[in-house]
Amino acid sequence: FILSAVAFFTHPLGLMWAVSLAILIIFLDMRRLRFGHLLFAAAPFVIIGLCWLVYILQNPELFSRQFGGNASNRWGFLTAPFTELWRELTVRYLANFGVGDGLAGFGQVKVVVLIIYLSSIIGILSVKSLRKNILPRFLIILAAQQFIMLMLLDGMKQEYYLVHIIPTLAVTTAIWLNWLISKDHFVKWAGFGLLMMLLVAGISINLSRFSQNKYHDNFLTAANILNQTAKPSDTIMASAEFWFALDKKENLVDDYRLGYLSGRKADIIVIDSLRYKDWINNLAITEPQSYLYIENLLQNGFEEVYEDKVYRLYQRKKPSQ
């Protein structure tokens, strides 16, 4: 619970794993739980929470602005539950597993993995002996809990948060495939076939990623252009990972609203397809005024100086322009 508390106060999705841990304890130790155990489990959250409060009180207004900005656009399920459920299924899962226009070539092979994940859950639910077994039952409940909490806590449907549920789906699939392979004749070979499909899909996807080499061909290229273009006093608004590659790290501001709320003025802006592009498009629905400000800023106040498959770099126009 110490690690769960640290995770929670680092990122809201840490709460998801605290709940997962609580479910595990209920499955294994419910009858042995006592009130003292609950106090012991709550202690790390209280202690770290008090430390956090001391930090907040140093500048409550600044904390409110920063925390409020990060927490916004994440509670769409409370106002439009069916819309958010549809977005969860299509944006987080189908799109990231190769369904739709977002991926091509080897990327679309990932849909095989999603199909096998789903068939594993259905398979375990359909077999009585597996449903009664504590481990498969725990994993099915865990997958449902993580699916729901991802939907509730991440209204922006960011693809990299899939990492929080993939291990549960993978272990669930392993249990299902192990059950199939332990049977005779056709069922066994069906299990081997699904396992081979997973291996081929995984290898194909990784080979495709290796061949793209986005770190060198896109990220480092964009970072080098920034270092060559930016003046020592220029404010650069870009995703936080550029901190690792910029010569003047103190000039970086990670603000995808591009100063609409903060009032900061950028000299150079980097729009990346992995974060800023999706987040700004989302503002068209959730914060139309922010979106219009950004569109006007990029069209009238900046000019594009570089573009590749991942990044677009904009530089403030000179007064004469």
- Check residues 195 and 78 and name the one with the higher pLDDT: 195
Locus of tokens 């990060």? 70
Taking only the tens place, the pLDDT of each residue in 117-160 is: 999 999 999 999 999 899 999 999 999 999 999 998 887 787 88
Determine the average pLDDT of the residues in 154-176.
90
Supply the pLDDT for residue 320.
61
% the chain with pLDDT above 90? 55
* Length of the chain as a residue count: 321
The Cα–Cα gap between 70 and 255 comes to 10
Supply the pLDDT for residue 104.
53
Task: Count CB-CB contacts under 10 A for residue 173.
Answer: 23
Find, among 82, 78, 92, 69, the residue nearest to 287 by Cα: 69
Tell me the two tokens of residue 74.
Answer: 């994440």
Taking only the tens place, the pLDDT of each residue in 270-284 is: 999 888 998 898 888
Determine the average pLDDT of the residues in 225-252.
92
- Worst-scoring range by mean pLDDT, 10-24, 28-42, 78-92, 95-109? 95-109
What's the mean pLDDT when you consider all of the chain? 88
Supply the pLDDT for residue 222.
93
Beta strands at 252-253 and 268-272: parallel, antiparallel or unpaired:
unpaired
The Cα–Cα gap between 237 and 267 comes to 8
The Cα–Cα gap between 24 and 22 comes to 5
Taking only the tens place, the pLDDT of each residue in 6-38 is: 999 988 899 999 999 999 998 888 888 888 888
Supply the pLDDT for residue 159.
80
Supply the pLDDT for residue 213.
84
| Beta strands in the chain, from DSSP E residues, in sequence order | 236-237, 252-253, 268-272, 302-307, 311-316
What three-state secondary structure class fits 245?
Answer: coil
Banded model confidence at residue 290, pLDDT cuts 50, 70, 90? very high
